[in-house]
Amino acid sequence: MRILVADDDPVSLRLMEHMLQNSGYKVITVDNGQEAASVLSKAGGPRLALIDWMMPGLDGPGVCRAVRGRHDDAYVYMLLLTSKQSSGDVVQGLEAGADDYLTKPCHPAELKARLHTGRRVLQLEDKLVEAREKMRFKATHDALTSLWDRGAILALLRSELSRSRREHSPVSILLCDIDHFKEVNDMYGHLVGDEVLQEVSKRLQDAVRSHDAVGRYGGEEFLIVMGGTRGDELKERAEQVRNIINCLPFSTAQGLIPVSLSMGAITIEDWDKSLRVEPFLKEADDALYRAKAAGRDCVSYAETVVTL
C-alpha cells in the first residue's frame, strides 16, 4: 500500500522511509506541507499519510484541513507525528482532521500498529463505498439488461434537455422496439426472450458513444438519448444502430435467431423549460408506430422540434 510521509527533517524522513519500506509500504516522501496537501488531494493519490506536525509554511494540522476540504469520495487516513503532548494540542490536531497521532520519538512497533489500524479503517470504508455503489446501481438499472431503467433514462433525458437549453445544443432520441418479440417468446420461451433482450442491450451499448445513454424503456422497448446530435447526424447514427442489431443472427440456447428493430427518431433543437419530456416521447412513439406500419426493421423520423 502507498503511504505519504511529510517531514522537513531530511534525516527523520529517510529513517521513516526505510522503516516503512521494510514493512512493505510503497513510500512517497515530501519535505513540506504544501506539497503534502497537493499530493494527497490528487485523484488516485496515497490514502495513508504520516505527517509531521511542525513544518514551515503549512503545518501538519493545515495539511489535514486542506485534504478534508476536498470534495471527493476517497478517504485519506492521516496520522500526525508531534512532540506536543498537551490535551489541547491533541484536540487541535484531531479537530483539524487527523485520524490519529503519535508523540516523538515514536516506537516502531507502535507506529506499525497504528498504521495497521488505518489500513483496516480504509478497507472498511472501501467496503461501504462498494456497497453504496451496488445499491445505487440496483436503484437505477434494469436487473435483466443492466441498462438504465425507465425512471433513470427519463431523468437523464430531462437533464440532457436542460443542458441543451443552457448551451443551445441539440438532443436526439431513438425509441426502439424489437420486431415480433412476442413471437420469440411464444416460439422459443421466455428464457430465450431474455437472452435476446440481453444481446440487444449489449449491441445497443456497443453502437453508441460513451456519453450517450441507453435505457430499457419498458418490455422490449429501449430509449437512446444522444446529446449534441443534430437531425442530419441522427439519420446516420440511427442506421448504425439498426444495422448492428440485424447484421448477425443472435446466438441463443435454441440456436440462431434473426432480430431487428423498428425505431422512431426525433431531434430537439431547443425547448422551453416549462415543457415536459412527454410531448417529445409522444412524437418519437408516433414515429415508431409509422416504422412498424412501414414493414418494421426501419427508422421513421419525426420533424425536428423547435420550441422557442
C-alpha cell at 137: 446501481
Provide the sign of the torsion angle of the four alpha carbons 150, 155, 157, 158, taken in this order: positive
Of 35, 160, 195, 220, which one is the catalytic site residue?
220
For residue 30, which of 69, 41, 123 has the smallest C-alpha distance? 41
8-12 mean pLDDT? 89
Element holding 262 (H helix, E strand): strand 261-270
- DSSP conformation letters of 81-104: EES--SHHHHHHHHHTT-SEEEES
Q: What domains can you pick out in the chain, each with its CATH number? A: 2-139 (3.40.50.2300), 150-306 (3.30.70.270)
pLDDT (tens digit per residue) in 127-178: 998 998 899 999 999 999 999 999 999 999 999 988 888 888 899 999 999 9
Residue 130 a catalytic site member: no
Give Cα 241 distance to the centre of its chain: 24
pLDDT one-digit tens code per residue, 233-268: 999 999 999 999 999 999 999 999 999 999 999 998
In sequence order, which residues have a C-beta less than 8 Å from that of residue 36 and are 6 or more positions away? Answer: 4, 6, 30, 49, 51, 58, 63
Give the C-alpha separation, 245 to 207, whole Å.
9
Q: Which cell numbers in the block locate residue 69?
A: 476540504
**What pLDDT, on a 0 to 100 scale, did the predictor assign at position 306?**
46
Greater model confidence, 276 or 194: 194
31-49 pLDDT, tens digit each? 999 999 999 988 888 999 9
Burial class (CB in 10 A: 0-12, 13-18, 19+), 116: exposed
**Which three cell numbers mark 201?**
442491450
| pTM reported for the whole predicted model | 0.72
